[in-house]
Structure 1
Amino acid sequence: MTRIGTSDLDVFPLSLGGNVFGWTADRDTSFAVLDAFVDGGGDFIDTADSYSAWVPGNTGGESETIIGEWLAARRPRDVVVATKVSQHPVFRGLAAANVRRAAEASLGRLGVDVIDLYYAHFDDESVPLEETVAAFGALVSDGLVRHVAVSNYTADRIREWVGIARRLGVAEPVAIQPHYNLVHRNDVEETIIPVAQEFGLGLVPYYSLASGFLTGKYRSTDAAGHSSPRAAGAAKYATDHGLRVIDALQQVGDAHGASITATALAWLRAQPTVVAPIASARTVDQVPDLLAGARLELAPDEIELLSRVSEWTPTTA
């Protein structure tokens, strides 16, 4: 178990991504994936109120609804659920009134009395940050939310949020959710990890497997030819450099009898301030590798090898 920042939330060191629920996983499959995750020791689920509004016929909130129905049916003990606000078609942005209405709607879909971890999904610079910070603080003081967090914020805006929260005397963020993985490192390592260390925040990275690229499924530069809805996202990593990363992951994983997926997650878990990478599973068969990634411990030289082979330096004029 790992502690999320300065909070009282101790979680399994991998978060199950709920973005696929109601998208590439229907209700029954989603229930089976959730069952397998919890049966295997998992207890941390990540979703957002906007999942999956991008699917034709969906309106947003489908993932929360499925998770809420599963919670009601299974009544698991000590499961931590994180969700987010700002992107739902009906609840866009981070104005105070909208944040309150969106949180109440999420509580209803999830069927819970309190949201364990509530993220500002994307920064909304059209709203004064002080208004947003105060709105999140009020959710905590009113008992609708246990802890607040930020996702896709710059380091400067995170520092500003913390400063405002301290001045107002309201709940400070305990976590940051950035895009971070072996083939997408520089910005997080250069700017976000330092601010996390400064304020004791835990990182809960999304795209931990680079849209599936770090599963090893795409072993050539023709990744775009795959039929998966996420293949286009993986294709951009299927370069010579990216494939060298996959080869190194296989080399390290083979030494442990572990998959490429589990090894990529283990590397990410070993990075400073990282609490629990987020990874999703479309099928029950994909769950064991995720659970293994939360338990695999790499040696320092293996972490260094993967860090070295995945290092990217921008070209200079």
Structure 2
Amino acid sequence: MQYKNLGRSGLKVSQLSYGAWVSFGNQLDVKEAKSLLQCCRDHGVNFFDNAEVYANGRAEEIMGQAIRELGWKRSDIVVSTKIFWGGSGPNDKGLSRKHVVEGTKASLKRLDMEYVDVLYCHRPDSSTPIEETVRAMNYVIDKGWAFYWGTSEWSAQQITEAWGVAERLDLVGPIVEQPEYNLLSRHKVESEFLPLYSNYGLGLTTWSPLASGVLTGKYNNKVIPSDSRFSLENYKNLANRSLVDDVLKKVEGLKPIADELGVPLSQLAIAWCAANPNVSSVITGATKESQIQENMKAIDVIPRLTPAVMESIEAVVQSKPKRPESYR
């Protein structure tokens, strides 16, 4: 496993990481979680991602209990969670100072940890001034409940505004953004965020490298396996949006490139994400140890992604966004 700095910070995260979205609490309980987390650690993963909204808080409880029972040394791992959707009350969601502080304390209680390494604002909150959120995240850091803070699914403009507030008030700005990034979804990472990498040292922990499993090729005949994410009731709409002919044709076109390298399509797709120098860590998901073992082999594929291979991939997906005029 390789370890990269999280943006310009001194924090080192494994190039591939593991996220609890969908799986913990919906598909897996503590016993299965322990075996998956240990499998990740055995492959050098040190970064584990969660959120207060995952399985309505159950995902944090499962991860916390599993880590406790595994007896891991806290300083050996990097744990993150995300604040935005904490409940049904008017102050249980969003990024007000009240919810950032109360939501963080509730997350730490569920995780049974004194701190998380990284705390994300899970979405932008148009009903709260960004200055209030920046001040609240700094309060959390000052209290020692988190070491760094970041954003997830924010726009470049919102991140820039947060940094403007932080610099004006001599506070800590967001060091990392967590956007979706894969062969089918590239605009933010490769175009919109370009100025942020150099201006603010922004790091990325990207999610959905396999586009919810579409880039594994397992859905190419449009049959949904019973143990897959798309078979879950909550994900039927996502399945209908994702499994369209144009997308499946691209996935089919990538298969010969993976075959030529002698690797599964999933490893090619994950390696492609990790090869982007602006990506600090690619968050992977899995419900079985065999999936983790396969995903982790993507590390060995990264050096094999020569310019020629990358061009072949681009010729199939044709998804490269236009770069802004000033960054050509």
TM-score by length of 2: 0.87
**Which range moves more in the overlay, 130-139 or 221-230?**
221-230
Provide the residue aligned with 2:7 in structure 1: 5
Shift of residue 37 of structure 1? 1.0
CA distance in 2, matches of 1:133, 1:70: 32
CA distance in 1, matches of 2:180, 2:128: 24
Provide the residue aligned with 2:325 in structure 1: none
Q: Deviations along 1:159-178, whole A, 9 cap, x unmatched?
A: 00111111111111111111
Provide the residue aligned with 1:277 in structure 2: 282
Change (3 A) 1:248 1:313: same
Q: Deviations along 1:119-140, whole A, 9 cap, x unmatched?
A: 0001111011100000001111
Instruction: Tell me the secondary structure at the aligned position of residue 148 of structure 1.
Output: strand
CA distance in 2, matches of 1:10, 1:72: 22
1:172 aligns with 2:142: no
**Residues 223 and 235, structure 1, Cα contact 8 Å, conserved in 2:** no
Alignment counterpart, residue 71 of structure 1, candidates 49, 67, 71? 67
CA distance in 1, matches of 2:105, 2:93: 14
Change (3 A) 1:161 1:193: same
Q: Deviations along 1:237-267, whole A, 9 cap, x unmatched?
A: 3334323432343223223332111110111
CA distance in 2, matches of 1:275, 1:204: 6
Q: How does 1:243-282 map to 2 (within 5 A)?
A: 243-282=248-287
Provide the residue aligned with 2:163 in structure 1: 162
Q: Deviations along 1:83-123, whole A, 9 cap, x unmatched?
A: 00011215311110210111111111112222101000011
Change (3 A) 1:232 1:305: farther
Provide the residue aligned with 2:318 in structure 1: 311
Alignment counterpart, residue 62 of structure 1, candidates 58, 63, 67? 58
Instruction: Tell me the secondary structure at the aligned position of residue 131 of structure 1.
Output: helix
1:80 aligns with 2:78: yes
Provide the residue aligned with 1:288 in structure 2: 293
What is the letter of the counterpart of residue 187 of structure 2?
N
Instruction: Tell me the secondary structure at the aligned position of residue 181 of structure 1.
Output: coil
Shift of residue 75 of structure 1? 2.6
CA distance in 2, matches of 1:312, 1:300: 16
Q: How does 1:102-251 map to 2 (within 5 A)?
A: 102-221=103-222, 228-229=231-232, 230=235, 232-251=237-256
CA distance in 2, matches of 1:232, 1:305: 31
Shift of residue 224 of structure 1? 9.9
CA distance in 2, matches of 1:8, 1:67: 25
CA distance in 2, matches of 1:303, 1:270: 10
Shift of residue 222 of structure 1? 5.5
What is the letter of the counterpart of residue 24 of structure 1?
Q
What is the letter of the counterpart of residue 63 of structure 2?
I
Change (3 A) 1:233 1:144: same
What is the letter of the counterpart of residue 7 of structure 1?
S
**Residues 12 and 294, structure 1, Cα contact 8 Å, conserved in 2:** no
Shift of residue 275 of structure 1? 1.3
Change (3 A) 1:255 1:294: same
**Residues 224 and 235, structure 1, Cα contact 8 Å, conserved in 2:** no
1:16 aligns with 2:12: no
Change (3 A) 1:272 1:244: farther
CA distance in 2, matches of 1:104, 1:313: 41
**Residues 14 and 47, structure 2, Cα contact 8 Å, conserved in 1:** yes
Change (3 A) 1:307 1:271: farther
CA distance in 1, matches of 2:316, 2:186: 12
**Residues 13 and 277, structure 1, Cα contact 8 Å, conserved in 2:** yes
Provide the residue aligned with 1:45 in structure 2: 48
**Residues 213 and 234, structure 1, Cα contact 8 Å, conserved in 2:** no
Provide the residue aligned with 1:55 in structure 2: none
Instruction: Tell me the secondary structure at the aligned position of residue 218 of structure 2.
Output: coil
Provide the residue aligned with 2:34 in structure 1: 31
